[in-house]
Structure 1
Amino acid sequence: MENSKELQRYRYLASKWLNNSITEEELREFNDWYDAGLETPLQIPGSFAATEQALEQRILQKVNSKLEVEDNQNQPGSAKIGWPMRIAIAASILIALGTGLWFYQNRTIEPRLQHVAQTDIPPGKNTAMLSFSNGAVVQLSDKRKAVFVNQNKLTYNDGSSADLDNQIRSITSNELITATTPKGGTYQVVLSDGTHVWLNADSKLSFPSEFAGNKRSVTLTGEAYFEVAKNKAKPFVVNYGSAEVEVLGTHFNIMAYKDETASQVTLLEGAVKVNNGKEKVVLKPGQQAEISEQAGAAIVLNKDIDTEQAVAWKNGYFMFANESVESIMRKISRWYDVTIVYQDNLQDKALWGTVSRFKNVSEVLKRLALTGVVRFKMDNLDGKGKERRIIVMK
């Protein structure tokens, strides 16, 4: 089994253990992998969580040792895992396991999440609206996952019509349509050429009802994952910020929120060309183009990217790999539609781990607080009188 596939498998099992959804058979598989090579099987007494640092050190040593052995066994010319990726993989498994054991073995530990209100903030959902150049607005059903733009009509993924209250009698040829997701919303839009676009929270995609001319051009603000329908005669172009991505048919993710310090294009399949003024970079699968918001910034090419992390939001979870606390909290703010307030300076703090996006915000904050890096206080969750806030502390 290839290293990357095996490690993805055990990271997946670690995530299931953390979410208490792992089956007995999967648990045996996970334990067998961890115990392989140990002189004695791993025993976890009830007080084991009291030595969290020893737990972290042991898991990190185990993962690194296993990777070292597998690297040495690789044939000449075969792909190897570099140290940056090695550390990312090890730490991802480390935090998933360490947090899971800490939480499971210490249910009486003093909660690091303080002043939790009786109400909670549920996760985001499928919600979006479409705006048309004739002024019409359609609020898309939160009971459906996708809307199809088929020439002069709109349909949901179940075949039902999306033309609510007869607001749109017909869609004119080449009419500009804008799909918008609010904070706490996500939706899939299938364009007239068959291209599938998944919109993350607080995002906007503008596109024509039909693609005329010699290219297919759309504009994005926020974040979206694209599976572009192949058409060699008509390139697909995504405009975002001051840059654009040009493709013929491929799978990629664009993160281009205005409140982020840089935009990122991550390629999963095929090839794309990123244009930023006169500068151009062609990406291969597993690579990422990053452009700082600073004027005149060059394109930074990041290689050996964990593409799973880039599209974790689309697959239903948060995934952090040495990610800053501020970056993580921006994601939480968008998905739970809550204001973030910092009581302490945490600019130099980063976290690792994987957490489901389908949990209430209190559960996500508990998982983050269990790392010992940050604490949280939630305020006014009922939303009455004041904005809902999460206060972040050391």
Structure 2
Amino acid sequence: MNNSRLQYLLTQYAKNNIEKAELRELLELIDKKNVEDVDNELDRLIAKYLDIDYKPEKFNPDNTLRKIRSTLTDRTTENNRDLISLKHRRYRIWWAAAILVGALLLFTVLFNRYQSDDLQGRTVVMENDIFLPDQAQVRLSLANGTVYNLMETDKSVLANEGIEIVGDEEGGILFVVRQTNNEGDLKTFTNPKGNTAKLRLTDGTTVLLNSGSSITYPSAFGLSERNVQITGELYFEVARDENKPFVVSAGNTAVKVLGTAFNVTANPAANGVYTTLVEGSVEVTSKQGKTVLVPGTQAVVNHQGNISIGDARMRDVLAWKEGYFSFNDYNIDQVMEQLERWYDIEELHIETRTDDLFVASIIRTRRLSELLEHLERISSYKFKIEGRRVTVMN
């Protein structure tokens, strides 16, 4: 697909005439493009629409295009903990550009309706706000019941338990596991709500934990296999060792690999275990059988152990590790379920529901109210935060 198609789709978006299928196409196209191509096209649109008295019915493209450019610029100047790493620009910046252009600013299309009413006076009603924590409050639990908050524990104590905290190549925090003598000593690394956390195991395997996830690992891997157990959602980049397969146990599922990259989701609310292969190959096994995945596919093991395989929507699957929420024809319950995994919402009450389905990719904000304000702008829903209770109204 050439730049003329990109030009057409961005123009349709700027005019708010884009159809649902075209929005999907735009996101996929930007994902494949160089940043200069999109940047040049934004220049053209800004020059066209900012210098004339053009006011479409549904929204003002002046603000939209300005915000697109501003946001792209801001994302490259934020501190290292928040920005999308320039070192991985080829994949991550384009993933982000797709989000920013296709979704961030008015950033969503509802399944069968556009909002054309005046949204100026609509705001989230707040008694308090709900914030994401400044840093991961990760915990290490030992077999004897001892629990350490790793960010508040003395380095010498952590060293005795085989943990070192270092900076990673992207400017974030990396928890490094050092081998200890007791091979059978199991330890659980838990990442509570509100952040991701990165762990490097003794074999060199890197694990990224989503909000509310954990991994249990031995102090030293055995001679024949490298075994870990998980809950929640984790992304693995497994160090290759043909003589010692890496095995991830999640609920009723085992994922066996030699060296590859894959994502595993094991949440009770997700109705099973989802394994998505990014590169290499993995073998997924349950009590009902086993299957081998190829890159770009996903295996789902339900509670009965049955395995189904299909193509994966990689952007949706990997959104969490890139700092986004991704909604693909989600109703309000599914949207709020995603938010509850990250924000410390003690009680959620949905007063009314509509048939609206959300198609969106939204940057995660530190304040829940900011994210809810975005959702208000593109839907008929209104939100109220009282303490840690969130109410959804219509």
Q: TM-score, normalised by structure 2?
A: 0.69
Pair 1:358–1:26, CA change in 2 (3 A): farther
Match of 1:340 among 334, 343, 348: 348
Shift of 1:306: 2.8
1:74 is aligned to none
1:290 is aligned to 300
1:392 is aligned to 392
Pair 1:42–1:224, CA change in 2 (3 A): same
Task: State whether residues 152 and 171 of structure 1, in contact with CA within 8 Å, keep that contact through their aligned partners in structure 2.
Answer: no
Task: State whether residues 199 and 207 of structure 2, in contact with CA within 8 Å, keep that contact through their aligned partners in structure 1.
Answer: yes
Aligned-residue identity in percent: 30
Task: State whether residues 133 and 175 of structure 1, in contact with CA within 8 Å, keep that contact through their aligned partners in structure 2.
Answer: yes
Amino acid at match of 1:375: K
Amino acid at match of 2:203: D
Shift of 1:213: 3.3
The whole-number CA distance in structure 2 between the counterparts of 1:201 and 1:360 is 16
Shift of 1:238: 0.8
Shift of 1:100: 8.6
Amino acid at match of 1:247: V
Structure 2 unmatched ranges of 5 or more: 4-26, 62-96, 110-115
Residues 174-323 of structure 1: pairs in structure 2 closer than 5 A? 174-293=184-303, 295-296=304-305, 298-303=306-311, 305-323=312-330
Shift of 1:33: 7.6
The reply on whether 1:110 has 2:140 as its aligned counterpart is no
| 92-101 or 310-319, which deviates more | 92-101
The whole-number CA distance in structure 2 between the counterparts of 1:221 and 1:198 is 13
The reply on whether 1:7 has 2:30 as its aligned counterpart is yes
Task: State whether residues 323 and 352 of structure 1, in contact with CA within 8 Å, keep that contact through their aligned partners in structure 2.
Answer: yes
Pair 1:342–1:234, CA change in 2 (3 A): same
1:61 is aligned to none
1:66 is aligned to none
State the Cα deviation string for residues 309-333 of structure 1 (Å, max 9, x = none). 2121112121222233222212211
Pair 1:111–1:270, CA change in 2 (3 A): same
The reply on whether 1:324 has 2:331 as its aligned counterpart is yes
Residues 27-46 of structure 1: pairs in structure 2 closer than 5 A? 28-31=39-42, 41=48
The whole-number CA distance in structure 2 between the counterparts of 1:90 and 1:268 is 19
Residues 353-372 of structure 1: pairs in structure 2 closer than 5 A? 353-372=360-379
2:113 is aligned to none
Task: State whether residues 246 and 257 of structure 2, in contact with CA within 8 Å, keep that contact through their aligned partners in structure 1.
Answer: yes
2:162 is aligned to 153
Shift of 1:28: 4.6
State the Cα deviation string for residues 273-303 of structure 1 (Å, max 9, x = none). 111213212111111112334x35x322121
The whole-number CA distance in structure 2 between the counterparts of 1:91 and 1:321 is 13
Amino acid at match of 1:155: E
Shift of 1:139: 0.6
1:59 is aligned to none
Pair 1:235–1:161, CA change in 2 (3 A): closer
1:21 is aligned to none
Shift of 1:248: 0.7
SS in 2 for 1:289: strand
1:85 is aligned to none
Task: State whether residues 152 and 173 of structure 1, in contact with CA within 8 Å, keep that contact through their aligned partners in structure 2.
Answer: no
Shift of 1:198: 1.0
The whole-number CA distance in structure 2 between the counterparts of 1:44 and 1:326 is 42
Amino acid at match of 2:393: M
Q: TM-score, normalised by structure 1?
A: 0.69
Shift of 1:26: 8.2
Pair 1:244–1:48, CA change in 2 (3 A): farther
Task: State whether residues 108 and 360 of structure 2, in contact with CA within 8 Å, keep that contact through their aligned partners in structure 1.
Answer: no
Task: State whether residues 126 and 142 of structure 1, in contact with CA within 8 Å, keep that contact through their aligned partners in structure 2.
Answer: no
Pair 1:223–1:319, CA change in 2 (3 A): same
The whole-number CA distance in structure 1 between the counterparts of 2:181 and 2:235 is 25
Shift of 1:130: 0.4
Pair 1:98–1:139, CA change in 2 (3 A): closer
Pair 1:136–1:201, CA change in 2 (3 A): same
CA RMSD of aligned residues (A): 4.0
Task: State whether residues 151 and 192 of structure 1, in contact with CA within 8 Å, keep that contact through their aligned partners in structure 2.
Answer: no
SS in 2 for 1:314: helix
SS in 1 for 2:184: coil
State the Cα deviation string for residues 6-37 of structure 1 (Å, max 9, x = none). 42167x97xxxxxxxxxxx88752426879xx
The reply on whether 1:122 has 2:131 as its aligned counterpart is yes
Amino acid at match of 1:311: L
Amino acid at match of 1:140: L
Aligned residues: 317
Amino acid at match of 2:341: R
The whole-number CA distance in structure 2 between the counterparts of 1:92 and 1:326 is 24
Pair 1:138–1:51, CA change in 2 (3 A): same
Pair 1:328–1:360, CA change in 2 (3 A): same
State the Cα deviation string for residues 360-381 of structure 1 (Å, max 9, x = none). 111111112222143211112x
SS in 2 for 1:157: strand
Task: State whether residues 162 and 219 of structure 2, in contact with CA within 8 Å, keep that contact through their aligned partners in structure 1.
Answer: no
1:51 is aligned to 58
The whole-number CA distance in structure 2 between the counterparts of 1:133 and 1:230 is 28
